[in-house]
């Protein structure tokens, strides 16, 4: 839908609905957080509106939600204080935005940073203050377990309701409204418009599900459903991300209860044993298609020398139909290379530093579940560009990781000199003032 006189009544109704929704979110921020996650999982990107530029549904809900809760975010919270992750993200955003001033960027590339990166990052960084991290983990678990069920049903019935019932006549539907195949199998996509976006989003949710304060049997059932859902996307990199995420939670999450570790490892082994033959046979039936896809990604390395220091690569050309080409490549299937080609070496190096810090935090066993989830997505970033709702969910996870790592630092006990030791009653007063979220507490 675009902005014109014919659509004016619809836009006025939508504006009124946004005000009403904002009022509800102000009084009930959990409603806003849940609505944003539901839109990620169940509303395709082609259902947005064009107001000069195209706004995805998740972007619109994110703007309304953030504006609604902004007055409630003014209070002090130790976890709201900026840390190293925040500075790295800020440096990345600045390096991506500066080229528009120097003439090395376009309005479209800046718009993506502001709407699909910055807004979800702020949602993930700020909403936990109002709704609680544990609550977010539980909601993510429920929503993406439903996505996993949807992926399985789609695969078994060969029917995608979003592509069929929500068909639109816009370019985004033309691009993302076609079901992919691998060999003779249709790949499940659900509402994400692409099998890799669906599989990687579910894989990103799996470590958060393991950390959710739900009954152990329910968590494991949800993880198994999500894992099976990832498998039927037939996306190899999504499967790798899912396995990495759950195994890193089992091995490197310091405060995970032993029974959860054991259940996770047993569950992964059972899922691999049950579905491994199906995956192997499907990839074998696909013949050279899967191998050619992997080879194509390897060829993209030839573009690295053409990355500019700041801004757009000199080998980038936009065709008459608006399609962006770099050299002889029509598709850049690597977010890391694509980041450099669009925004320059400064942005790429800052992004790589952020990933190194993430990996170091995980290896040192100081990572929260959100940070582990991000580390498991590194293979995806190397082989897939940001697409559809996966982009927003990834940056939401970045914001959530920044918040939870800051919370972890804020809860560290301070070592006082003996002469300044607190009396017992003073210690109790300090403990009583601590926020309820304890990210270092054991996940049972």
- Quick one: average pLDDT of 368-385? 96
Query: H helices within 254-344, ranges in order?
Result: 258-285, 288-299, 335-343
pTM: 0.89
pLDDT-derived band at 170, boundaries 50, 70, 90? confident
Asked if residue 374 lies in contact with residue 380, where contact means CB atoms within 8 angstroms, the answer is no
| 73: in domain | no
Mean pLDDT, range 227-238, rounded to an integer: 95
What confidence tens digit (pLDDT) does each residue in 8-63 have? 666 677 667 778 778 888 889 999 999 999 999 999 999 998 888 899 999 999 99
Q: Is residue 113 part of a domain?
A: yes
CB 228 within 8 A of CB 145: no
Torsion angle defined by CA atoms of residues 272, 151, 182 and 43, in that order, rounded to the nearest 10 degrees? -140
Q: Looking at the domain assignment, is residue 342 inside a domain?
A: yes
Domain count, the chain: 1
**29, part of any domain:** no
Q: Rounded CA gap, 3 and 11, in Å?
A: 8
29 near 67, Cβ under 8 Å?
A: no
Q: Residue 50 pairs with which residues in a beta bridge?
A: 2, 54
Q: Which of 148, 144, 125, 271 is nearest to 212 (CA)?
A: 144
H helix count then E strand count, the chain = 21, 6
Q: Which of 197, 201, 94 is nearest to 144 (CA)?
A: 201
Confidence (pLDDT) at 7: 61
Contacts of 397 (CB under 8 A, 6+ apart): 124, 204, 370, 373, 374
* pLDDT grade for 290, boundaries at 50, 70 and 90: low
- Domain membership of residue 245 (yes or no) is yes
Burial class of residue 249, CB neighbours in 10 A (0-12, 13-18, 19+): buried
Q: Would you state the structure tokens that stand for residue 349, as one six-digit string?
A: 């190096």
Domain that holds residue 213: 83-409
In a domain, 118, yes or no: yes
- Average per-residue pLDDT for the chain: 86
**Among 310, 339, 341, 343, which Cα is nearest to 327's?**
341
Q: How confident is the model at residue 426 (pLDDT cuts 50, 70, 90)?
A: very low
pLDDT at 255: 84
Top mean-pLDDT range of 1-15, 256-270, 380-394: 380-394
CA 334-315-296 angle, 5° bins: 35
- Judge whether 63 lies within some domain: no
Q: pLDDT category, 169, cuts 50, 70, 90? A: confident
| pLDDT for res 432 | 41
Question: Residue 53 domain-assigned?
Answer: no
Query: In terms of C-beta density within 10 A (0-12 exposed, 13-18 middle, 19 or more buried), how is residue 420 classed?
Result: exposed
pLDDT of residue 287: 65
């Amino acid at each position: 839908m675009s902005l014109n006189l014919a659509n004016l009544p619809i836009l006025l109704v939508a504006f009124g609905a946004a005000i009403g929704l904002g009022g509800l979110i102000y009084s009930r921020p959990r409603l806003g957080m849940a609505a944003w996650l539901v839109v990620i999982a169940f509303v395709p990107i082609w259902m947005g509106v064009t107001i000069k530029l195209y706004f995805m549904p998740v972007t619109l809900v994110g703007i309304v939600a953030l504006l609604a809760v902004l007055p409630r975010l003014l209070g002090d919270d130790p976890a709201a204080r900026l840390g190293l992750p925040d500075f790295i993200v800020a440096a990345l955003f600045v390096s991506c935005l500066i080229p528009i001033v120097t003439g090395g960027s376009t309005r479209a590339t800046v718009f993506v940073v502001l709407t699909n990166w910055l807004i979800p990052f702020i949602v993930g960084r700020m909403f936990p203050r109002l709704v609680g991290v544990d609550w977010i983990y539980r909601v993510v678990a429920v929503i993406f377990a439903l996505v996993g069920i949807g992926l399985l049903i789609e695969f078994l019935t060969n029917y995608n309701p979003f592509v069929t019932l929500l068909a639109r006549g816009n370019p985004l539907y033309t691009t993302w409204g076609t079901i992919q195949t691998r060999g003779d199998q249709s790949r499940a996509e659900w509402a994400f418009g692409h099998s890799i976006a669906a599989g990687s989003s579910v894989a990103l949710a799996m470590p958060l599900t393991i950390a959710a304060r739900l009954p152990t049997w329910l968590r494991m059932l949800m993880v198994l459903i999500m894992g099976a859902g990832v498998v039927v996307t037939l996306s190899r990199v999504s499967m790798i991300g899912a396995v990495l995420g759950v195994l890193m939670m089992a091995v490197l999450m310091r405060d995970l209860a032993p029974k959860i570790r054991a259940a996770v490892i047993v569950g992964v082994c059972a899922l691999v044993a049950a579905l491994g033959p199906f995956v192997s046979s499907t990839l074998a039936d696909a013949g050279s298609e899967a191998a050619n896809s992997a080879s194509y990604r390897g060829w993209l390395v030839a573009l690295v020398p053409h990355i500019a220091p700041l801004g757009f690569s000199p080998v980038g050309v936009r065709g008459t139909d608006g399609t962006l080409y770099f050299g002889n490549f029509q598709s850049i299937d690597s977010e890391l290379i694509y980041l450099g080609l669009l925004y320059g070496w400064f942005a790429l190096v800052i992004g790589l530093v952020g990933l190194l810090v993430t990996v170091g935090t995980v290896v040192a066993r100081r990572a929260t579940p959100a940070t582990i989830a991000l580390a498991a997505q590194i293979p995806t970033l190397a082989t897939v560009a940001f697409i559809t709702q996966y982009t927003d969910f990834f940056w939401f996870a970045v914001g959530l990781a920044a918040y939870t790592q800051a919370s972890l630092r804020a809860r560290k006990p301070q070592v006082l000199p003996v002469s300044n030791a607190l009396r017992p009653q003073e210690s109790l007063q300090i403990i009583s003032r601590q926020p309820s979220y304890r990210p270092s507490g054991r996940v049972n």
